[in-house]
Structure 1
Amino acid sequence: MSLSSLLQSCIQQTKETLISMVDIDGHGHRLVHLDLKGAPPRVNYYEQLFPLIRSFGATGLLIEYEDMFPYHGKLKHLQALNAYTPDDIAKLHSMAEVNNLIVIPLVQTFGHFEYVLKHDENRALREVEHYPNALCPTHPDAFPLVTKLITQVLELHPKDKHLHIGADEVWHIGRCLRCQDEMESHKITTNDLFLMWVLRLAKWIKAKYPHLTLIMWDDMMRQIPLEKLLSSGIGEVVEPMIWQYHAKKFEFPPDLFSRYGTVFDGLWVASAFKGATGSTQFLPPIQHHINNHLTWITTLAEHKHQFKKYRGICITGWQRYDHYAVLCELLPVGIPSLCLCLRVLTHESFTETDHDSVSQQLGFSHRINVIPFPRPQVIEQGMQFPGYRVYIGVQMWSNFVCKYQAISNSEGMLGWFSDYQRSKNFTNPVQVESIMKPLQEVLQNLTELRSHFIPWLLEIFYEDTVEEWVGSFIDPLLEKLSQVIEECRKQINIGGRVKNYKKIES
């Protein structure tokens, strides 16, 4: 081996040692979740994002591709139009490695399977024919399909040491006739059916990829008795990731940690920095997420000793609640929340010093506003973090929405411009003119924002994301404003006439 090759090998070993030490030093990993089933960033955005999150203490990534993965062959129909390429994923790994971030792919294998089951080619594999949420575990084509998904993903993740198999919120398990016949003939419950599927899949993965540590969401196991978990052997093949996104009170079964600690050697948990407080949320309530992490710190201090190994925490950032839901907080809008939450985890507290330090590092001249509502609020302009223009644009949009709502609920609108009054063309032009002026101002402001915001979005996102966000949030408001202003003009031109009464039929 040449001297340069030997040196490179030593550097690589040192990196791997440093990364693995994080997993065993008692503090565990701090993973950042990338939910790509909505608003997936262009790959070059990660060049800015990864150094930032590493500087705040992140040690890895949990990447949930869904249809952004470049499936091929008989799975090619699963790809989104802008799916990442194999070269993109290689580049993503390279950027992660440079920043000492481990990569863990997440492949849904049971529930939240919409990105597969929405296609006609896979419709027969639904647990409930009309619902695309859950896979039928007894369908003969289900297991071959899922193993193909996993095989293709792992082909592009050959060096990764973990795989997350999802398996959360399998709401409709045991509903199809085939599954009911299976349960009846073997005298088993839906809990048994769930464990049977996960075990079959996990054992297959472990046999083919023995170097992998498997992780799964825990919620479907929360009510399963200890004896059943132990007898199933589930603890020998997977590790649970316990998720909870509430701010201060975690609603777990009282014996959850002791039960899991008896069954599983390793423990993962999951918090949230965005996407967990409402499916239509557009600005993360940062104080809620800070409190969520503080509560996790307290909870772990009380319970993690019940496990042989505490693996770490994943800070989730959901981009939509399921494959069909609207977009919630965009990733750049959540960056201040993410960095504050990472600071909470690394310092195990949240002080004024922590708040000031993170704010200054992200370029805020004042403290980051951790309580974004009510609106409107003053918006800073001079930040310097990846995607800050999108952050500013969403803040501005939310202010304009607030102004529109205030006008719509004003005394002038409700008292002189109601639906009934307009239907009778019985309005006072003096009042209508006072209503129209602020509406025109909001329309002008929003139109101007749209012209700037689209290029800002396109710097980070693909065209379909920009079309969806603008089409979901900005354009409908522009249309409403235009319609109301046009009605104002109509009523002003009518000029305060006598109301025409219509006899009510008895």
Structure 2
Amino acid sequence: MEENKMTVSSPFGLHLVHLDLKGAPPKVSYLAEIFPLFRTLGANGLLIEYEDMFPYEGELKPLRAEHAYSASEIKEILNLAELHELEVIPLVQTFGHMEFVLKHQEFSHLREVEMFPNALSPHKEESLMLVSAMIDQVVALHDGLRWFHVGSDEVYYLGEGEESKQWLQKEENSIEKLYLSHMKAVASCMVSSHPEVKPIVWDDMLRGVSEETLTESGVAQLMEPMIWDYAADLDEDDKGGYSEKVKENVEKQLGLSSLEIDTFMSESSGTFPGSDIFTLVTQVCFYLKPSVDELLERNRFVTGWFSPYHRKRRIVHPIMMHHFQPDALSLLAKWNAVMQELQAALERVFYMCTLEEWMEENVHPSLHKLQEVVDDLDKAIQGQS
């Protein structure tokens, strides 16, 4: 892909979509559906944070998730990105957010703080060897890279490890210098091994560093900072404003009548890939628990005639049963149907572990509560016959 194709759309050249694969990674088949939409909406690049979804080999093989992409799937993702003119920038964490590495026994000795798997120790040579090996394997599967993101945001507990505490006892040392020295080492390894690739780093750990300290560290010459922020008040004149026209265009592309969240409860929810999941998840989030609670906790026939006391003893008045059993059966049938539909929709996009987690967290508690009441009703009725 020619460089000039990537630089004509804006002063910044690249409008990136961050694919953070550390939670609920999608199947490649879904990426094939969503990449055209990214392009339509104005993106021309992808920042892919692989986490444990990369097919690490050799001594790094323990880092792979159960459903990690294969090397051929990575190539398929890259081919899809090229097809839709999306430049790929891989992101591999090299300091903070290292749980996917440091949770494993083989690498736990490289933690900054022994009991926390989030941050890498910057004092061990093996730490640098580890991140260099990770970077090398990722670069090897990506042809023609211009940029490589080394993460390094939110390095919590840096300076609280025993080696760091000793290092910080020297008056000239500081946590800022400790951070910068590790980042310089990572960047120097990249420049040495992959001189054609420019490292990028998140800026949050650099914001409080003085210009003098930054200059002395040499990091500024080796790495490009990328703003890390969720604020809505960034400089709109330089990063693209949000206007009514932009909103209308996005609504059109997504097939939504409105982007306002209160409309999601009552209207058709889009034509974009995965919009069926959006519709079903919206139903579950807004209606499942309230509808079950309404029946079990606020329906006077249930609270008065089939409370936990009655259920435990299987006591039910036949007349009162007719006032709430049909409602309970109807509600259970409705949500079982939604659950089956949602499960099928989720299976198309996500791996089973993601599906199971979401259903157990958001669907099963209310559904089980409802099922138990229906089962208790059946037992009580059978006990009277």
**TM-score of the two chains, using structure 1 as the length reference:** 0.68
Deviations 1:363-407 (A, max 9, x none): 34xx1342248x8x22416x4321222122212222223323444
- Select which of 242, 248, 258 maps to 1:349: 242
Written as runs of structure 1 = structure 2, the 5 A alignment for 1:89-488 is 89-185=74-170, 187-246=172-231, 292=232, 295-296=233-234, 299-301=235-237, 345=240, 348-351=241-244, 353-364=245-256, 367-372=257-262, 377-380=265-268, 383-398=270-285, 399-407=287-295, 410=298, 412=300, 416=304, 437-486=326-375
Q: AA paired with 2:243?
A: F
Q: AA paired with 1:135?
A: L
In 2, Cα distance between equivalents of 1:450 and 1:117: 36
SS at match of 1:100: coil
In 2, Cα distance between equivalents of 1:160 and 1:79: 23
Q: AA paired with 1:447?
A: N
Contact 2:45–2:86 at 8 Å: present in 1 too?
yes
Written as runs of structure 1 = structure 2, the 5 A alignment for 1:36-75 is 36-75=21-60
In structure 2, do the counterparts of structure 1 residues 424 and 94 end up closer, same or farther at CA, with 3 Å as the change threshold?
Answer: closer
Q: AA paired with 1:200?
A: A
Matched, 1:18 2:8: no
In 1, Cα distance between equivalents of 2:102 and 2:168: 23
Moved more, 417-426 or 209-218: 417-426
In 1, Cα distance between equivalents of 2:125 and 2:215: 27
Contact 2:41–2:253 at 8 Å: present in 1 too?
no
In 2, Cα distance between equivalents of 1:189 and 1:433: 73
In 1, Cα distance between equivalents of 2:350 and 2:30: 9
Query: What is the number of residues matched between the two proteins?
Result: 382
Matched, 1:88 2:73: yes
In 1, Cα distance between equivalents of 2:323 and 2:218: 71
In 2, Cα distance between equivalents of 1:125 and 1:412: 59
Q: CA deviation at 1:175?
A: 1.5
Name stretches of at least 5 consecutive residues in structure 1 with no aligned partner: 1-11, 247-291, 305-312, 314-344, 496-506
In structure 2, do the counterparts of structure 1 residues 21 and 413 end up closer, same or farther at CA, with 3 Å as the change threshold?
Answer: farther
Q: AA paired with 2:284?
A: W
Deviations 1:341-374 (A, max 9, x none): xxxx4xx3321x544443333334xx1342248x
Contact 1:50–1:99 at 8 Å: present in 2 too?
yes
Contact 1:68–1:84 at 8 Å: present in 2 too?
yes
Contact 2:102–2:108 at 8 Å: present in 1 too?
yes
Contact 1:412–1:435 at 8 Å: present in 2 too?
no
Deviations 1:86-107 (A, max 9, x none): 2211221111112111100000
In structure 2, do the counterparts of structure 1 residues 424 and 190 end up closer, same or farther at CA, with 3 Å as the change threshold?
Answer: same
Q: CA deviation at 1:77?
A: 1.1
SS at match of 2:15: strand
In structure 2, do the counterparts of structure 1 residues 400 and 86 end up closer, same or farther at CA, with 3 Å as the change threshold?
Answer: same
SS at match of 1:219: coil
In structure 2, do the counterparts of structure 1 residues 361 and 20 end up closer, same or farther at CA, with 3 Å as the change threshold?
Answer: closer
In 2, Cα distance between equivalents of 1:190 and 1:155: 33
SS at match of 2:190: helix
In structure 2, do the counterparts of structure 1 residues 228 and 350 end up closer, same or farther at CA, with 3 Å as the change threshold?
Answer: same
Q: CA deviation at 1:477?
A: 2.6
Moved more, 413-422 or 38-47: 413-422
Q: CA deviation at 1:48?
A: 1.6
Q: AA paired with 2:288?
A: F
In structure 2, do the counterparts of structure 1 residues 112 and 413 end up closer, same or farther at CA, with 3 Å as the change threshold?
Answer: farther
Moved more, 166-175 or 236-245: 236-245
Q: CA deviation at 1:486?
A: 4.2
In 2, Cα distance between equivalents of 1:173 and 1:414: 55
In 1, Cα distance between equivalents of 2:337 and 2:60: 43
Q: CA deviation at 1:426?
A: 12
In structure 2, do the counterparts of structure 1 residues 433 and 221 end up closer, same or farther at CA, with 3 Å as the change threshold?
Answer: farther
Contact 2:7–2:13 at 8 Å: present in 1 too?
no
Contact 1:400–1:442 at 8 Å: present in 2 too?
no
Q: CA deviation at 1:80?
A: 1.2
Q: AA paired with 2:275?
A: Y
In structure 2, do the counterparts of structure 1 residues 421 and 96 end up closer, same or farther at CA, with 3 Å as the change threshold?
Answer: same
